Structure 1
């Protein structure tokens, strides 16, 4: 979110008064709602809402040959899509720079967390 000078001043004054830009206290969280199984076209899916922010995630699976350099491991491909309805700067079509960066960050986080055993993905 880009802010002009007046918005920045208002934000700083709000923080000094122990309230956030949207009126919540500094320690007050937004409501969180998690829904599972929201897409019938994915093997797994979820919708997470935090305040007015909404994120949809879907997992699709397909049997494929492992890569030659890792013949004993399955693969993961992360794609992010930023819909034009969520921000006028997002355009339909191929993924933009922000979507590509989000995909990379998620991919790196999943791989480095070791949350997925890629050897168990091999059939």
Structure 2
């Protein structure tokens, strides 16, 4: 019997791979909730985003996608601009958030340049 070949390519992060860090983003929900009156994310929120980006940038996408599974709506424009808003030195991957409009889509009252 000869051993079967084994693929050496590592799979992308799964929910379980990211589950230890995506909860670091929970402090951002008040800022990311549609209609939020928060004008900026908290330092704790930005620190959470930074720790997720340092662990694995794709976990940001996993975390944002999991909000839909939990029945939580988020402001897609704010979500995609979090690394810039928090002035983080690490760029997040551009990821689609199921059930949310694209970041460039026009959404009344949700302009990324409005402060």
For normalisation by structure 2, the TM-score amounts to 0.24
The structure with more radius of gyration = 1
Q: Which structure is richer in relative contact order (CA contacts within 8 A, separation 6 or more)?
A: 2
For normalisation by structure 1, the TM-score amounts to 0.23
* Structure with greater strand percent: 1
* Structure with greater helix percent: 2
